[in-house]
């Protein structure tokens, strides 16, 4: 059964150029049964959205700016979110904005048992990011390649592709997460590693570093080794990961000193 999602978009804070990729991304997490975008549609800067709303069946919600310096759009979106929450018509929300004003809304929705996905630009403040179950940077949704080559095995592609660099701090976090779910031999099922990483850091996404999936990202980091095992029915391969020998652990520690 599909999870029903309410998609609420802050039209003042999200560029219209990403709408197609954004809706394709949202479809991975559930069925967007409610799709609304908020803004003052009398303003010329929102004109680029109009054709895209028809193509993606997104309902525009008109909100006039009654007072200079106050964001009436945010208030309308928050009120609608609470109405939708109490209607019990959805199982989760996708809040599309780069505005930290939605931090409390995301927190409140999660308190009510809703799954909350955030989508916004890389400039999004950290409080809103960590208030979501998962946060996706909208920049990575455009022109993603399946795999990107590395010049250095701990770094992603050059900045011209808008990818981040994997830092020693992030490698340490991955290593700690592997250790959290590993068996006595140090092996951890990669699916469990990915799930726990997401809980620890909602904006962790292998695509931020130029990789479509977590497996090639792990493969590109020399501190880890990957093993593929057949499942009990022999129908598919299960992927496990662990830190290479003890010297790898020491190397990570030394790197962070």
Domain 159-255 listed as CATH 3.30.420.610: yes
Partners of residue 61 on adjacent β-strands? 38
Is the pLDDT at 151 greater than 70, yes or no?
A: no
Nearest Cα residue to 174 out of 122, 102, 243: 243
Architecture of domain 4-141: 3-Layer(aba) Sandwich (3.40)
Q: For the chain, what are the domain ranges?
A: 4-141, 159-255
Same fold? 4-141, 159-255: no
Q: Among 51-55, 106-110, 140-144, 227-231, name the most confident range.
A: 106-110
**46 has pLDDT over 50:** yes
Strand (E) or helix (H) holding 117: strand 115-120
> What is the Cα–Cα distance from 199 to 56, expressed in whole angstroms?
30
Question: What's the mean pLDDT in 225-233?
Answer: 82
Claim: this prediction has a pTM higher than 0.85: no
Assess whether pLDDT exceeds 70 at residue 149. Answer: no
Q: What percent of the chain has pLDDT over 90?
A: 47
Write phi, then psi, for 4 (nearest 5 degrees). Answer: -85, 130
Residue 85 has pLDDT above 80, yes or no: yes
Here the tokens at position 63 are 């909100």
- Number of Cβ within 10 Å of residue 94's Cβ equals 27
pLDDT value at residue 237? 81
Over residues 128-134, the mean pLDDT reads 95
């Amino acid at each position: 059964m599909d999870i029903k999602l309410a998609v609420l978009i802050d039209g003042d804070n999200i560029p219209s150029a990403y709408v197609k990729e954004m809706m394709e991304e949202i479809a991975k997490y559930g069925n967007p049964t409610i799709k609304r975008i908020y803004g003052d549609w009398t303003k010329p800067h929102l004109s680029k959205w109009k054709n895209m709303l028809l193509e993606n069946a997104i309902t525009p919600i008109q909100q006039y700016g009654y007072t200079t310096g106050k964001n009436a759009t945010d208030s309308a979106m928050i009120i609608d979110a609470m109405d939708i929450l109490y209607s019990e018509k959805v199982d989760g929300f996708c809040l599309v904005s780069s505005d930290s004003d939605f931090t409390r809304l995301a927190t409140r929705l999660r308190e009510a048992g809703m799954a909350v996905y955030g989508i916004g630009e890389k400039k999004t403040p950290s409080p809103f990011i960590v208030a979501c179950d998962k946060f996706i940077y909208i920049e990575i949704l455009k022109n993603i390649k399946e795999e990107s080559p590395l010049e250095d095995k701990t770094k992603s592609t050059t900045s011209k592709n808008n990818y981040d660099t994997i830092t020693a701090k992030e490698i340490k976090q991955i290593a700690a997460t592997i250790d959290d779910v590993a068996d006595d031999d140090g092996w951890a099922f990669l699916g469990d590693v990915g799930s726990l990483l997401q809980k620890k850091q909602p904006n962790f996404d292998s695509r931020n570093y130029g990789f479509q999936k977590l497996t090639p990202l792990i493969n590109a980091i020399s501190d880890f080794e990957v093993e593929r095992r057949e499942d009990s029915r022999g129908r598919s391969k299960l992927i496990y990961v662990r830190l290479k020998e003890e010297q790898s652990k020491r190397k990570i520690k030394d790197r962070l000193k």
